[in-house]
Amino acid sequence: MSNDTVGNVMITQEQISKRAAEIAREIEKDFCGQQIVLVGILRGAVMWMVDIMKNVDLDMVIDFMSVSSYGSSTKSSGIVKINKDLDTDIEGKNVIIIEDIVDSGTTLNYLKGYFENRDAKTVKICTLLDKPEGRRVEIDVDYIGFTVDDRFIVGYGLDYDQKYRNLPYISYLEE
């Protein structure tokens, strides 16, 4: 541990709040008059989950899942393991997966299939960050906060070795 250093602020809390409110309006339009189930993916999506849920004025239930595909390293293993499953029956429900970042696409591709197999009515993805250069699996991402370059991002929920999740802004790790 640690001679890692955090770089400059890339995206501020204010920018994130503003974007969350915009996405919330889209979600309200897309699911007008219907119930939605927000599924936050622990632990990286916690801050973004709060931003979205408090801005969306719809009939809503929330749940969380914990999956792992990365260890403490900065590269994807490609393997998805469920550490904590849903407590909610999602059959016939409108599920919106709340993620911190889409990189290779492996995690969300797996989760989308997992929810579809449990007969969700619809499965949408809402990610704080998208890193398109990292993509290895084709995946439709419905709601994207911000698109970022191929750097290792930390802050606003995202960690390096469990650190920096508490930073109230998005930054990156300096090599």
Residues that bind ligand 5GP (CB under 6 A): 44, 69-70, 76, 99-107, 131, 152-154, 158-160
Running DSSP on this structure, what letter comes out for residue 91? T
Q: Is residue 140 flagged as an active site residue?
A: no
Q: Where are any strands of DSSP class E within the chain?
A: 5-6, 36-42, 60-68, 81-84, 94-102, 122-130, 143-147, 153-154, 171-174
Partner in contact with 141, chosen from Mg ion, ligand 5GP, none, beta carbon below 5 to 8 Å by kind = none
Running DSSP on this structure, what letter comes out for residue 50? H
User: Under the criterion CB under 5 A, does residue 51 sit at the interface with Mg ion?
Assistant: no
Q: Which 145-174 positions form the footprint of Mg ion (CB under 5 A)?
A: 159
CB of 58 to ligand 5GP, least distance (A): 25
- Residue of this chain nearest to Mg ion (CB atom): 44
Length of the chain: 175
* H/E stretch holding 109: helix 106-117
User: Under the criterion CB under 5 A, does residue 44 sit at the interface with Mg ion?
Assistant: yes
Catalytic residue list: 103
